[in-house]
Structure 1
Amino acid sequence: MVLLLDNNYDIVEPLASSIVQSLRSIGYSLETAIADIVDNSIAANANQININFIWNKEISYISIQDNGMGMGEEELKVAMRIGSMSPLSTRNSKDLGRFGMGLKTAAFSQCKRLSVMTKKKDEELHTRCWDLDLIEKTGKWSLLKEFKEISDLQIIEQGTIVLLEKLDRLISESYSSVAYNSYLKKVASVEQHLSMVFHRFLEGPNAIQIYINNMLLKPWDPFLVNEMATQELAIEQHYDNDYIIKIQPYILPHHSKISKDTYSYADGPRGWHDQQGFYIYRNRRMLVSGSWLSIFRKEEPYKLARIMIDITSDMDFSWQIDIKKSTARPPKYILDELKRIGKIARDASYKVYYHRGVRLIQNNATQNNDHVWEQIHKHGKVFYKLNRAHPILLKLNDEVDDYKLLNAYLSFIEEYSPFNLVSYTPSLKIEDTNQEKKNYNKVEITEDILSSLKDIIYALKSSGYTGDQILYRLCNSEPFNKYFEQIKALLEEE
């Protein structure tokens, strides 16, 4: 233990202006900053949160108003302090914070003036304000007790208003239609992000309501739990010391099993391909949305697998939660379990992806997957597909470098197998042949054929064929010679 004797140490206080500039550069985006502020409203037991983005020349601002419990004057001063609570302190199950920095660092990342107005029920209204220009000028942590009120922002009974002004990081140019459209796109990104991050708070019997510019925010459920064709695999529980980690894999339906609107909805902020993987929640608040955590690569056949992981705030350090609450890294001891569960979910996704919605039988031990071909009845015809769940094929998939090329070759085998060619070839009378040829371009392409075409085009391009060569080969081969326009369109997309 070091004893501090008289005159044997110096007090070296950090420069306020330098600290502020460092806090502004932590790396928040607009959407993660607003989410961090909303965390405080939820922790204050608010059930209604109103967020407004106002661009009005010199008085542009963002306001976040809630009907939570509010704060007394001393509580407000503590909340406005940089590092208002030690990260080592125990948090309750509803607390979404950790470092005591979120409100300030989130706000400073977007603006130079942060004001808070708060009121407890039957108590007085209290206000405090950080103005970074004033801190820069004086070099002191001067917390203002008053700020210019905005008539539209009032607390009736109880709650808190957070006001961001001098939006230098958000509005950096004069008003114009181009600048305003860019601003609106950023607001739309906030809407998408909040509907995803807080979706479990926005649904259910005790749902909260979040309004953005007076429009009610709807939750984005990445797991499509209300869809009949969604598969819920077995939930597992693991322990982090005395705390429980819950892991629930979901396999989303094949697109043929859901409506176009549902398919578009499930696309999420980043698209089907990038939304696959693990979703990590801390006290029901999403931290990570769609990542294989460096355990697996993102591959097309596995895009239907999404896995929910629930942790608590007691695991913040073991899971390395960052100050922005936007990243998490699982501890080493759980990685093997995540790999095992991830492989189960990925195998299930693979089967649904290639088997066009055949539902997974969860008791895999009773299944016999040794058959090579599967018979499929569609539109009154019989087709045959390779059994993509065959143990040898699954092992081969694990070992090859280019999954897509292998699957393209398997599609070749399926489409050019003699019995499928017979199924595709119409039974024509000689006099009907010319009429059938005239109708070739009118044939509607099925999802099976479209998927096979994409794989085959990829394989041919990988083998060095040009677009014209691919078009010639496919349009002179059964069953693809009926789909000239569709093949041409696919080649133009590549």
Structure 2
Amino acid sequence: MPNHESVTPDAYSVIQSLRSVGYNLQSAIADIIDNSITARASEIKIRFHWNMDNSYISIHDNGNGMSENDLRQAMRMGSKNPLDRREKNDLGRFGMGLKTAAFSLCKRLTVKSGYKHDETFIRCWDLDYIKDTNDWTLITHAADNDSSLFLQQHEIKESGTVVLLEKLDRIITSPFNQKAYTEFLKKVESVEKHISMIFHRFLSGPQAVKIYINENEIKPWDPFLTNEVATQELATEQFKFGNTTITISPYILPHHSKITKGTFDRAEGLKGWNAHQGFYVYRNKRLLVAGTWFNMFKKEEPFKLARIMLDISSDLDFDWKIDIKKAAAVPPQEIVHEVEKIAKIAREASYRVYYHRGAKLAVDNTVSSVDYVWEQIYKHGILYHKVNRNHSLLLNFITTLSSEQKRMLNAYLAIVEENTPSNLLSYAVGKQENNEGNSNNSALDTEDAVNHIRDIIYAFRISGYKDDEIVNRLKHMKSFIPYERLFQRLMEETN
């Protein structure tokens, strides 16, 4: 007699359990969109079709599509080993997202996919069919005429995939009256706002993905107001963790008096200003958590202007305890101290902007009595004084300048900052601590530093300095010494 036996899971019981993983409509649709983006789709069309108990939701992308074998595998429960290494653009992990997301909304999931101008293939999970058979039986065609008609409306031209969700028993329930229809429309609106937030970095930029809901293009919601001149971007910090890098970029949003009411209202997002303060955790550019202090601090009014971008790769999924819904993250104990330090700096900056605190400038009715000239930040772990770029006089002056003049001014202010006595002293103290092994060095070659130095090189060159003269002058600026190699490289690249 064998000393082991195979116990096949009860199909219908497992499916019913998977329906209660914890998705809502917004997170479920976002999880399905993850698959489209991983498939390198440039266009994703979502349709919410109301027809009482015959309503449906479809997600149609123009991505790579799947072969018949790939489609069969994608429909399998646990289609990928969670321990396998993921590609850089892969937004999945557990091989369960498509199925669990769909089953949390509906009782029928049908997928049609086309691959490299080849024929299209269909696979369908129907929970009513599984209930009757209590078997893991995957249907290889449209389940009925309605499904077939819906799929025909979504033509796959070269390659792509259509996900069709029917029997929306978790979304629409009887009676199918006007109230139910109104609630349906409200849910569609909430999905649009959620997608605008979760995928905002994919929805913007030169290779932006276009996502539509019922033919209306979704615009990105930028939690950091990066296009606002009064937004402060504090120093970016990078930390090595294993074989990957964690990047943290704090932003301090403008005081409400510095932005329009429309911008202010939009910036409050889905949950309001207070709820959206803190860290925004991104995995491969996809937002997981929109505003958290990781239980380090309470969310309080004076700190609502602090929003911190935190980027991790999929290699850190288990270290950060990423869940199946991709809606939670916890920093590893090894970096909690660094994360907390950055949080404190951002909270202090938010507090100052919120209360308009700062040094008094002058007795002048045209200048706010609380405008401050200098602000404190931490740069590579060293206290650093930076000219307040949001000072009212400076902002008014900048609006009169051309793009080239703005670049020259920024370069000049950077040189002033680097040669301020307090910054030279901080640099000297920081260097001594580094030599004694008491300070944690961060990567110098950040995007912020690169842009900063390019502006300085540009300003010197346009003023008639030759490269050897530029190098000679910079050698005498002690705080630029850590950037010497970066200066040399950028001067060579920009010749």
Shorter-normalised TM-score: what interval? 0.7 to 0.9
- 1:394 is aligned to none
The residue type equivalent to 1:118 in the other structure is S
Cα deviation code 1:329-365 (max 9, x no counterpart)? 1111111111100000000001011017x7xxxxxxx
Does residue 62 (structure 1) correspond to residue 57 (structure 2)? The answer is: yes
- 1:223 and 1:300 map into 2 onto residues whose CA distance is 17
- 1:122 is aligned to 117
Q: Helix, strand or coil for the counterpart of 2:26?
A: helix
| Contact kept? 2:223, 2:267, Cα under 8 Å | yes
The residue type equivalent to 1:100 in the other structure is G
- 1:296 and 1:310 map into 2 onto residues whose CA distance is 20
- 1:244 is aligned to 245
- 1:81 and 1:376 map into 2 onto residues whose CA distance is 70
Cα deviation code 1:47-69 (max 9, x no counterpart)? 00000001112321000000001
- 1:342 and 1:92 map into 2 onto residues whose CA distance is 30
Asked which structure has the greater CA Rg, the reply is 1
- 2:176 is aligned to 175
| Contact kept? 2:202, 2:209, Cα under 8 Å | yes
Correspondence list, 1:6-405, <5 A: 7-147=2-142, 148-149=147-148, 150=150, 151-355=152-356, 374=360
- 2:101 and 2:370 map into 1 onto residues whose CA distance is 57
| Contact kept? 2:277, 2:291, Cα under 8 Å | yes
Cα deviation code 1:368-395 (max 9, x no counterpart)? x7xxxx4776756986899xx99xxxxx
The residue type equivalent to 2:240 in the other structure is Y
What RMSD, in angstroms, separates the aligned Cα atoms of the two structures?
2.0
- 2:86 and 2:274 map into 1 onto residues whose CA distance is 36
User: How far does residue 177 in structure 1 lie from its aligned partner after superposition?
Assistant: 1.5
- 1:382 and 1:179 map into 2 onto residues whose CA distance is 53
- 2:89 and 2:52 map into 1 onto residues whose CA distance is 38
Which is further off, 26-35 or 267-276? 267-276
| Contact kept? 1:61, 1:166, Cα under 8 Å | yes
- 2:234 and 2:96 map into 1 onto residues whose CA distance is 38
The residue type equivalent to 2:252 in the other structure is I
Cα separation, partners in 2 of 1:122 and 1:104, compared to 1, 3 Å: same
Q: Helix, strand or coil for the counterpart of 1:263?
A: helix
| Contact kept? 2:53, 2:176, Cα under 8 Å | no
Unaligned runs of 5+ in 1: 1-5, 359-368, 391-494
- 2:370 and 2:157 map into 1 onto residues whose CA distance is 68
User: How far does residue 239 in structure 1 lie from its aligned partner after superposition?
Assistant: 1.6
The residue type equivalent to 1:135 in the other structure is I
Cα separation, partners in 2 of 1:287 and 1:383, compared to 1, 3 Å: closer
Q: Give the % identical residues.
A: 56
Cα deviation code 1:93-120 (max 9, x no counterpart)? 0000000000000000000000000001
The residue type equivalent to 1:169 in the other structure is R
- 2:76 and 2:182 map into 1 onto residues whose CA distance is 36
Cα separation, partners in 2 of 1:129 and 1:284, compared to 1, 3 Å: same
- 1:26 and 1:260 map into 2 onto residues whose CA distance is 39
Q: Helix, strand or coil for the counterpart of 2:186?
A: helix
- 1:239 and 1:317 map into 2 onto residues whose CA distance is 16
The residue type equivalent to 2:349 in the other structure is A
Q: Helix, strand or coil for the counterpart of 2:53?
A: helix
Q: TM-score, normalised by structure 2?
A: 0.72
- 2:30 and 2:279 map into 1 onto residues whose CA distance is 20
User: How far does residue 158 in structure 1 lie from its aligned partner after superposition?
Assistant: 1.2
Cα deviation code 1:436-461 (max 9, x no counterpart)? xxxxxxxxxxxxxxxxxxxxxxxxxx
Q: How many residues align?
A: 369
- 1:33 and 1:140 map into 2 onto residues whose CA distance is 25
- 1:231 and 1:60 map into 2 onto residues whose CA distance is 46
Cα deviation code 1:2-38 (max 9, x no counterpart)? xxxx611121111001100110000000000000000
The residue type equivalent to 2:347 in the other structure is R
Q: Helix, strand or coil for the counterpart of 2:85?
A: coil
- 2:112 and 2:32 map into 1 onto residues whose CA distance is 14
Unaligned runs of 5+ in 2: 377-495
Cα separation, partners in 2 of 1:381 and 1:255, compared to 1, 3 Å: closer
The residue type equivalent to 1:10 in the other structure is E
- 2:371 and 2:62 map into 1 onto residues whose CA distance is 58
